[in-house]
A and B are shown apart, each in its own frame.
Chain A
Amino acid sequence: MCRNFKGLAFISAASLPFLANWLNGPNSGCTGICGSCGGSCLTWIAACCSLLIYRINASLFKKYKNKLQEKEGKEG
């Protein structure tokens, strides 16, 4: 499970430059929320979102693991 989270981090990071190209490319339809940035402002927002999702998943996994351990402890 932990390996999957690391894989998720790898894929999220790898997708960031692609996301920047896609979001800010000529065919993306992005007019720029703060002017003609020609950059990756949306990418950073996406990065923060993916980081947040990763953290939520990790904490949920931790809680799930703790519960599982408690259950196993009671049964044992």
Chain B
Amino acid sequence: MQRVIKTMIENFKRKTHCFIQLMEYCRKTLDRPASRSIKRLLGYVLGFLLFYAPFALFHRAAACLLNIESNLTIHSFCLRVPTAHLLDGKIFQLNLPVISLFLLSLSAFFLGPIFCGKLCPAGALTEYLSMLVPEKYKISWADHIPVLHVRYGFFLGFILSSFLGGHLACAYCNFYTFDLLINYIPFGQITAFSSSMLLTLILWILILGVFTKGGRGYCSFFCPVGTLQNIIYILGSRILPIHGRLSIIRTRCNGCGLCLLKCPMNAMSVNDNGIAEQNMHLCILCMNCADKCPSKAIRYTIGKNEGQPDVQKF
């Protein structure tokens, strides 16, 4: 009997050792730059499966778990709807837009804008499409327009105009345009695209997308979800003692500026001391900079805040 138990324990140990080795191999493989790019792409695919019909797994799960009504359109995951319902008190009811906004804010508060950098398929679409266009045909809007002023200005107008009623925000929403692109065009329902939606499509995909350096012009200027997350991210980094954020190891950084070139949001810069700096108003934690950094000076950490973060003034 003892021999049998011993053999069983040895077998278990051997299997556990194999499992640990396998896990270690997986970790090493996933830590390779090429695998990290694939991992990032898989994140966006997951985002697509979670939020967009016909899959809309997030909507289905929420409806099932909380026993609430939900349609499978992207409108259920809308920032504007809760702001519009601030006055009539519907924001205090348990519905999907409010839950979505709460989860989004919570994640941004503790972990940073990970939704934009890891899950949002609408932003990723233009970023990946822009990789197909040669750099010489792309415009760096940040060199010509004050990005942060337009970003926060549009956000303020977006929030305030919600109280005026109507659903005009949908006409310039890239989430909704993407929804139409997936669910209507393949079925021949081209009339679903109104003239304004077509203009949004051109602006989002072409002018501020494919032909913009980094491919995330729309995210930089007009995305209210991203702006809200960045505000909460900055707030979290100032208030919380432990916070998830991008940290730059100053002793390792050699100021080569490769992170500047690879950042799709133009959120990186090199300061006078020759050290890379993150602009928390724009960073979406896509970790492109960390992947491309030759000296491994950039990483995402969840830990104690070392003093006040370097939030750039604008």
Interchain CA distance A40-B221 in the complex, whole Å: 17
Q: Which residues of chain B have a CB within 8 Å of any CB of chain A?
A: 144-146, 149-154, 156-158, 160-161, 164-172, 194-197, 199-200, 203, 221, 314
Q: Write the nearest CB–CB distance from A20 to chain B, whole angstroms.
A: 5
Query: What are 25 A-B pairs with beta-carbon distances under 8 A?
Result: A9-B149, A9-B153, A10-B150, A11-B153, A13-B151, A13-B152, A14-B153, A14-B154, A14-B160, A17-B158, A17-B168, A20-B172, A24-B168, A24-B171, A37-B197, A38-B171, A39-B194, A39-B200, A40-B168, A40-B199, A41-B171, A43-B171, A43-B196, A44-B199, A44-B203
Q: Which residues of chain A have a CB within 8 Å of any CB of chain B?
A: 5-7, 9-18, 20-21, 24-25, 32-41, 43-44, 51, 54-55, 58
Q: Are A41 and B199 in contact (CB under 8 A)?
A: yes
Which of A7, A11, A13, A18 is within 8 Å of B161, CB to CB?
A18
Interchain CA distance A20-B164 in the complex, whole Å: 11
Given contacts A10-B152, A58-B144, 12 further A-B contacts (CB under 8 A): A6-B314, A13-B150, A13-B221, A14-B153, A17-B160, A21-B166, A32-B195, A37-B197, A38-B194, A39-B172, A40-B196, A41-B195
> From DSSP, what is the main secondary structure of chain B's interface residues?
helix
The 8 closest A-B pairs by CB, nearest first: A39-B196, A39-B171, A13-B153, A34-B195, A17-B161, A10-B153, A14-B157, A37-B194
- Indicate whether A5 sits within 8 Å of B146 (C-beta atoms), given known contacts A18-B160, A18-B161: yes
Interchain CA distance A35-B190 in the complex, whole Å: 14
A44 neighbours in B (Cβ, 8 Å): 172, 196, 199-200, 203
B200 neighbours in A (Cβ, 8 Å): 39-40, 44
Interchain CA distance A11-B158 in the complex, whole Å: 12
Which of A13, A21, A33 is within 8 Å of B168, CB to CB?
A21
Which of B145, B154, B171, B314 is within 8 Å of A54, CB to CB?
B145
Of B164, B168, B169, B171, chain A has the most CB atoms within 10 Å of the CB of: B168
A51 neighbours in B (Cβ, 8 Å): 145
With CB as the reference atom, state the residue of chain B lying closest to A36.
B194
B150 neighbours in A (Cβ, 8 Å): 9-10, 12-13
Q: Write the nearest CB–CB distance from B312 to chain A, whole angstroms.
A: 14
A9 neighbours in B (Cβ, 8 Å): 145-146, 149-150, 153
B197 neighbours in A (Cβ, 8 Å): 37, 39
A5 neighbours in B (Cβ, 8 Å): 146
B170 neighbours in A (Cβ, 8 Å): 39
With CB as the reference atom, state the residue of chain B lying closest to A26.
B166
Q: Write the nearest CB–CB distance from A25 to chain B, whole angstroms.
A: 7
Q: Write the nearest CB–CB distance from A59 to chain B, whole angstroms.
A: 10
Q: Are A33 and B195 in contact (CB under 8 A)?
A: yes
A43 neighbours in B (Cβ, 8 Å): 171-172, 196
- Indicate whether A16 sits within 8 Å of B154 (C-beta atoms), given known contacts A21-B164, A55-B144: yes
Interchain CA distance A68-B149 in the complex, whole Å: 27
Q: Write the nearest CB–CB distance from B163 to chain A, whole angstroms.
A: 10
Q: Are B157 and A18 in contact (CB under 8 A)?
A: yes
B194 neighbours in A (Cβ, 8 Å): 34-39, 41
B168 neighbours in A (Cβ, 8 Å): 17, 20-21, 24, 38-40
